[in-house]
Amino acid sequence: MSDWDRNTLSRIVEADDLHVAPFRGDGQTPGTPTWIWAIEVDGALYVRAYNGTRSRWYRSARDQGAGQIVAAGDRYDVTFEPIDDAGLNDRIDAAYRQKYADSAYLPAMIGERTRAATIRIRPRQ
């Protein structure tokens, strides 16, 4: 079951304009928004850090576990959950291949470096 309302999730994924802003070290102040590709798998929202686990936003998302996203013209308070599941990552790869088939950046987004920096984004309750 999805954490997101079906219509909201569809709008976010189809808009392709997601900006992620994990909280800074104080746990309250959102960081600088970073544009990132977003995909849906099994009703859940996932993103990956292009620069892998060394990415600043990824480290903040992992460490703080929360922040905000801006997508489809709306701002959402969210939580971030690192993913380390080979089978799920394979399905995420397939979603990236389908959505971004024509992009020169696709090989990097399904490589080991970015697979290691996969995050599930959930609405914060």
The answer to the question of residue 110 being in a domain is yes
- Asked whether residue 1 is domain-assigned, the answer is no
Q: Which two tokens stand for residue 38?
A: 């977003």
* Number of domains observed in the structure of the chain: 1
Do the domain assignments include residue 59?
Answer: yes
Q: What is the pLDDT of residue 1?
A: 41
Is 88 a domain residue? yes
Mean pLDDT per block of 10 residues along the chain (125 residues) reads 86 94 95 96 97 96 97 96 96 97 96 97 94
Is residue 64 included in any domain, yes or no?
yes
DSSP state, 49? Answer: -
pLDDT of residue 16: 86
Element housing 10 (H / E): helix 6-15
pLDDT the model gives residue 125 = 81
Query: What residues make up the domain containing 46?
Result: 6-123
Exposed / middle / buried, residue 84 (Cβ in 10 Å: 0-12, 13-18, 19+): exposed
> Model-level pTM?
0.95
In a domain, 43, yes or no: yes
70 is a domain residue:
yes
CATH code at position 17: 2.30.110.10
